[in-house]
C-alpha cells in the first residue's frame, strides 16, 4: 500500500487535483444543493405546519395528504436509484447529464423532502402559546410565519441546516460513482476502480475532517443564535 | 359610568361532534362595563379559558353574539377581526413572550404587526416608557430567559399596552396562577394601577378567590360551562346563592361531620362591622357558650363577609335565645342547618 509508486501517485493527485476537488465538494456538491434544497424545502416545511388541521391557516385535507405522500415517496427512493432516474432531467435543467454540474439536480431533488421534514420539526417546536399571543394581537398568518415561527425556530433551523448540509455532503461524495466530481469521486475512482487504497483512505480522512469542520461551525453558530441559553 | 364595553349574548361553544361532543359553554350572557375590573372565576375545566378566548374570538363560538366596543365581532370576517383584536389585548399564565427577542423588542412587537414599520425610534421610545411604567426600566435589553416569572409577566403587560392607540380591554387568562403569592400581589397591584390610571377595562380569569377579592369590582361564577351567578364581589362573597358559589367562596368547607345531639346554625356575615366581637357578646350578654365548627370569613373594607357554622347548646331554651339574638344583629343572617353542612 505504501510502495513508492503509490505514494508518488498520491502526491501527484494531491498536487494536481486536490484544490479543484475540495472546491467541488464544498461548493458545488454541498453548499449549493443545500441552499437549493432549502429554497424548496423551507416553504414546504412551513406549509406542513401552518396548513395542518390545527395550524394557523388550515389547507384542505387532500392537499396536505398529497404533499405528505409526495415527500414520503421521494424520501423512500434510495439516493443512487434517484440519481440514475433523475440524471436525464439534468440535461433540461443544467444542459448536461454528466459531470459535477449535472449531479446538483438529483442532489437537490433528493434533499428537499428531507429538508422539508427537518423544517417541519423545527417549526412545530415553537410554543403554541406564543402563536396564540400573536393571534390575539391581530397578527395575520403571514406575519406569524415571518415574525414568530421562523425567528423563534431560528436556532433549531440553523442546527437542522447543518444536519442537512452534512447529509448532502455524504450524498455528494456518493455521486462520484456516476461521474460527479470532488473528493468522493477521487476516492471511488482510485480506491475502487483502480485498486489504490492509499489514495482512497487519504480522501476518506479528508472527508472526515471536512464533516468535523462543518459540524463545529454549525454548533458554534447555533449556540450563538439561541437566546434561550444564558 | 355604566357603559357596556363587552356584551356576550346567548353564547354557546361546543367541541367535537357526535358522541365525543363537549358542551364547553352554555348560554353565557355577560355585560362588562367600561372601566371596571371584571372577574370570571371557576375551577379548572369550568370553561373559563374557552370563555375568555371567545371574547377576542381566538375561539369561534358555536352560536351567540359577542360585541366589543359596539362592534359585533361574531359577525366579522377574519380580516376585520384581526383589526378589531388590536383594540383589546391579552396576557397569559405562561407569559408567552418571544424567547428570541429582548424585553424591548417584545414590547415593540404589536407595533411592528400593525405596520408602524418605518418609525423604529418612535416604537422604541414608546416601549421604553411602557417598561418604565411596569417597573422594569433597566431590563430593556434582557432576554426572557434572564427574567423571573413576575418580570416576564410585567413585560407581557407592557406588551399588551403597546398597541397604538392603546387597547381598551385587557384580558387576563390566569395571569397570576404561575406566580408566588408576593409576586401575584405585585402583579395585581399593577393591573389595578393600569385600570385606574389608563382606564383600561380588565377581565380577569382565575381560579383563585384571592385574586377576585383583591381587584375585581364584579364577578361571575362559571361552573361546568354555565354562569351560576354574577354580581358585585362583596355581594357574591357574603352570600353565595349557588352550590358552585359556595364551593368557591368557602373552599375546604366541604362536609363537616357533626355530633348529632347538637343543633347547628349557619351565620352569614353580610357586611357586619368587623371589629365587633359578635360571638363573645353572645357569651357575655346571654351567658351562652357557642362552639365554632367551621368558619370562613374575610374583611373587605372594614366589613366582615363570609360564613360561620356554630353549634348551639343542647339546652332548647338557650339555643332558641341564642338564635334570636344572632338574628337581630345587623348585617348578619342566621339560619339553622339540619343536615351535614354543605
Burial class (CB in 10 A: 0-12, 13-18, 19+), B4: middle
* pLDDT value at B322 more than 90: no
Q: What sign does the dihedral A199-A202-A208-A213 (CA atoms) show? A: negative
Looking at residue B341, what is its pLDDT?
A: 42
Q: Which residue in the block uniquely carries the three cell numbers 450524498?
A: A171
**What is the mean pLDDT of the segment spanning B65-89?**
94
* Cβ neighbours around A19 below 10 Å, total: 10
Q: What is the pLDDT of residue B255?
A: 47
Which residues in chain A are contacts of B163 at CB distance < 8 A?
A: 137
Q: Which residue spans of chain B are classified as CATH 3.40.50.300?
A: 4-248
Q: What pLDDT, in 10s, does the model give residues B4-63?
A: 999 999 999 999 888 888 899 999 999 999 999 999 999 888 899 999 999 999 999 999
> Could A134 and B92 be called an inter-chain contact, meaning their C-beta atoms sit closer than 8 Å?
no
What average pLDDT score do residues B131-156 get? 96
β-bridge mates for residue B303, sequence order: B273, B300
pLDDT tens per residue across span B270-306: 776 666 777 888 888 888 888 887 777 777 766 777 7
Q: Is B202 left (phi over 0), alpha (psi -120 to 50) or beta?
A: beta
Predicted confidence at residue A178, as pLDDT, reads 83
Domain B4-248 has CATH 1.10.3720.10: no
Mean confidence (pLDDT) of chain B: 87
Q: Rounded CA gap, B96 and B53, in Å?
A: 15
Write the CA distances from B63 to A106, A130, B52, B229, B234, integer angstroms. 53, 27, 15, 21, 32
Supply the pLDDT for residue B340. 47
Rounded Cα–Cα distance for residues B251 and B232 (Å)? 20
Cell numbers representing residue B10 in the block: 346567548
Residue B316 CA to residue B323 CA, distance in Å, equals: 11
C-alpha cell at B34: 367600561
Q: Tell me: the pLDDT tens digits for B166-207? A: 999 999 999 999 999 999 999 999 999 999 999 999 999 999
Residues of each domain in chain B carrying CATH 3.30.70.260: 264-337
- Assess contact for A139 and B90: CB atoms under 8 A: no
pTM: 0.83
Chain segment A168-200, per-residue pLDDT in tens: 999 998 888 887 889 999 998 898 888 888 999
Average pLDDT on B312-326 reads 83
Q: Which of A137, A142, A222, A227 to mutate to test the interface with B (most CBs of B within 10 A)?
A: A137
Determine the residue of chain B that is closest to A139 in CA distance.
Answer: B113
Gyration radius of chain A over CA positions: 21
Distance of CA B133 to the CA centre of its chain: 23
Percent of chain A residues topping a pLDDT of 70: 100
Predicted local distance difference test score (pLDDT) of residue B261: 62
Return d(Cα B105, Cα B123) in angstroms, integer. 9
Domain locations along chain A: 4-225
Of B89, B100, B143, the CB nearest to A137: B89
Chain A hits for B82, CB-CB cut-off 8 Å, are 138-140
Residue A163: exposure state from Cβ atoms within 10 A (0-12, 13-18, ≥19): middle
From 3.90.230.10, 1.10.580.10, 1.10.3720.10, 3.90.1640.10, which CATH number describes the A4-225 domain? 1.10.3720.10
Opening angle at CA A97, ends A93 and A98, nearest 5: 135
Residue range B264-337 in CATH 3.30.465.10: no
* pLDDT reading at B258 higher than 70: no
Report the range out of B136-145, B283-292, B314-323 with the highest average pLDDT: B136-145
Q: Read off the pLDDT band of B250 (50, 70, 90).
A: low
Whether B253 shows a pLDDT value over 90: the answer reads no
pLDDT in tens, chain A (230 residues): 788 888 888 989 998 899 999 999 999 999 999 999 999 999 999 999 999 999 999 999 999 999 999 999 999 999 989 988 998 889 888 888 888 889 999 999 999 999 999 999 999 999 999 999 999 999 999 999 999 999 999 999 999 999 999 999 999 988 888 878 899 999 988 988 888 889 999 999 999 999 999 999 999 999 999 998 86
- Torsions phi, psi for B231 (to 5 deg): 165, -170
Question: Can the peptide bond before residue B165 be classed as cis, meaning omega within 30 degrees of 0?
Answer: yes
Question: Taking 60 as the threshold, does the pLDDT of residue B342 lie above it?
Answer: no
With a CB cutoff of 8 Å and minimum separation 6, the contacts of A112 are: A36, A37, A38, A40, A41, A44, A74
CA angle A43, A45, A50 (to 5 degrees): 90
- Which residue of chain A has the CA closest to B101? A227
Amino acid at each position: 500500500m505504501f510502495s513508492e509508486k503509490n505514494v508518488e501517485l498520491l502526491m501527484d493527485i494531491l498536487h494536481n487535483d486536490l484544490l479543484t476537488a475540495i472546491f467541488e465538494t464544498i461548493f458545488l456538491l454541498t453548499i449549493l444543493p443545500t441552499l437549493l434544497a432549502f429554497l424548496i424545502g423551507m416553504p414546504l416545511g412551513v406549509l406542513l405546519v401552518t396548513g395542518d388541521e390545527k395550524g394557523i391557516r388550515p389547507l384542505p385535507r387532500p392537499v396536505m395528504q398529497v404533499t405528505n405522500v409526495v415527500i414520503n415517496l421521494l424520501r423512500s427512493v434510495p439516493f443512487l436509484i434517484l440519481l440514475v432516474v433523475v440524471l436525464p432531467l439534468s440535461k433540461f435543467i443544467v444542459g448536461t447529464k454528466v459531470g459535477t454540474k449535472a449531479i446538483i439536480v438529483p442532489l437537490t431533488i433528493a434533499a428537499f423532502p428531507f429538508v422539508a421534514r427537518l423544517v417541519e420539526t423545527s417549526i412545530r417546536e415553537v410554543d403554541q402559546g406564543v402563536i396564540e399571543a400573536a393571534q390575539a394581537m391581530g397578527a395575520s398568518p403571514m406575519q406569524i410565519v415571518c415574525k414568530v415561527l421562523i425567528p423563534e425556530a431560528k436556532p433549531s433551523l440553523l442546527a437542522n441546516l447543518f444536519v442537512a448540509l452534512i447529509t448532502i455532503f455524504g450524498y455528494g461524495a456518493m455521486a462520484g460513482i456516476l461521474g460527479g466530481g470532488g473528493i468522493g469521486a477521487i476516492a471511488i475512482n482510485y480506491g475502487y476502480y483502480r485498486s489504490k487504497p492509499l489514495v482512497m483512505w487519504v480522501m476518506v480522512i479528508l472527508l472526515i475532517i471536512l464533516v468535523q469542520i462543518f459540524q463545529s461551525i454549525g454548533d458554534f453558530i447555533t449556540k450563538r443564535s439561541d437566546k434561550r441559553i444564558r | 359610568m355604566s357603559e357596556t364595553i363587552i356584551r356576550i349574548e346567548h353564547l354557546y361553544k361546543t367541541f367535537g361532534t357526535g358522541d365525543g361532543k363537549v358542551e364547553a359553554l352554555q348560554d353565557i350572557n355577560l355585560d362588562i362595563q367600561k372601566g371596571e375590573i371584571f372577574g370570571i372565576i371557576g375551577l379548572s375545566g369550568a370553561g373559563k379559558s374557552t370563555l375568555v378566548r371567545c371574547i377576542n374570538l381566538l375561539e369561534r363560538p358555536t352560536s351567540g353574539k359577542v360585541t366589543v366596543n359596539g362592534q359585533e365581532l361574531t359577525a366579522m370576517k377574519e380580516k376585520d377581526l384581526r383589526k378589531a383584536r388590536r383594540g383589546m389585548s391579552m396576557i397569559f399564565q405562561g407569559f408567552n413572550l418571544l424567547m428570541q427577542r429582548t424585553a424591548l423588542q417584545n414590547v415593540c412587537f404589536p407595533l411592528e404587526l400593525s405596520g408602524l414599520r418605518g418609525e423604529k425610534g418612535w416604537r422604541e421610545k414608546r416601549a421604553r416608557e411602557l417598561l418604565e411604567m411596569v417597573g422594569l426600566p433597566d431590563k430593556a435589553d434582557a432576554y426572557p430567559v434572564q427574567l423571573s416569572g413576575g418580570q416576564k409577566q410585567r413585560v407581557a403587560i407592557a406588551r399588551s399596552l403597546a398597541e397604538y392607540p392603546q387597547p381598551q380591554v385587557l384580558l387576563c387568562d390566569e395571569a397570576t396562577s404561575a406566580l408566588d403569592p408576593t409576586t401575584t400581589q405585585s402583579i395585581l397591584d399593577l393591573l389595578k394601577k393600569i385600570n385606574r390610571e389608563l382606564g383600561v377595562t380588565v377581565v380577569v380569569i382565575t381560579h383563585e378567590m384571592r385574586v377576585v377579592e383583591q381587584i375585581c369590582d364584579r364577578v361571575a361564577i362559571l361552573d361546568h360551562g354555565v354562569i351560576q351567578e354574577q354580581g358585585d364581589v362583596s355581594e357574591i362573597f357574603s352570600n353565595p346563592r349557588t352550590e358552585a358559589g359556595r364551593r368557591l367562596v368557602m373552599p375546604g368547607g366541604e362536609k363537616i361531620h357533626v355530633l348529632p345531639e347538637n343543633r347547628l346554625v349557619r351565620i352569614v356575615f353580610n357586611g357586619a362591622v368587623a371589629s365587633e366581637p359578635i360571638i363573645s357578646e353572645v357569651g357575655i350578654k346571654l351567658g351562652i357558650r357557642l362552639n365554632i365548627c367551621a368558619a370562613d370569613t374575610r374583611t373587605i373594607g372594614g366589613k366582615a363577609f363570609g360564613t360561620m357554622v356554630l353549634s348551639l347548646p343542647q339546652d332548647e331554651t338557650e339555643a332558641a335565645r341564642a338564635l334570636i339574638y344572632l338574628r337581630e344583629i345587623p348585617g348578619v343572617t342566621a339560619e339553622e342547618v339540619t343536615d351535614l353542612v354543605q
